[in-house]
Structure formats: structure tokens, C-alpha cells
Amino acid sequence: MTAKDTVRALLDRLPDDCSLDEVQYHLYVVQAVAQGEADEHAGRVIPHEQVATELRRKWLLGRAG
């Protein structure tokens, strides 16, 4: 699907009275999801367990539990 096709499909799903800010937000979300999928396919991911451990260490003062 081309970028124009993606935008057209998005516009077809949005209500006719949506604002430009809403269109811009939804385009951002579509782009962010696509980038995340590309990162996953390229192996640029962090395992959930690693993220959880790092967050516990940061927010629970070093306790890994």
C-alpha cells in the first residue's frame, strides 16, 4: 500500500467533521505503528522481561522482585 493509499484509507475511516489536528494525530499513530512493525521485523526490539527489570530497578529503587 502506498502512502497515498494509506492516507485515503485513513480519511475514509474518519468522520467528515474531524479537525486537521485529529487527522494529523491519526497519521502520526499510523506512522508510529508502521515504524514499530519495521523495527520488530529488523530485530530492533527489547524483550519484555528486560524492560520490566529495568523499570523495576529505576522505579523501585533497585529492587528486582
Q: What pLDDT, in 10s, does the model give residues 5-25?
A: 999 999 999 999 999 999 999
Give the cell for residue 30: 499510523
User: Which sign does the torsion angle of CA 51, 52, 53, 56 carry?
Assistant: positive
58: three-class secondary structure by DSSP? helix
Extents of the domains making up the chain: 3-59
Q: Name residues whose C-beta falls within 8 Å of residue 63's C-beta, 6 or more positions apart in sequence.
A: 56, 57
Distance of CA 19 to the CA centre of its chain: 21
In tens, the pLDDT along 20-62 reads 999 999 999 999 999 999 999 999 999 999 999 999 998 986 6
Amino acid at 39: D
pTM of the model: 0.71
* Amino acid 62: pLDDT: 60
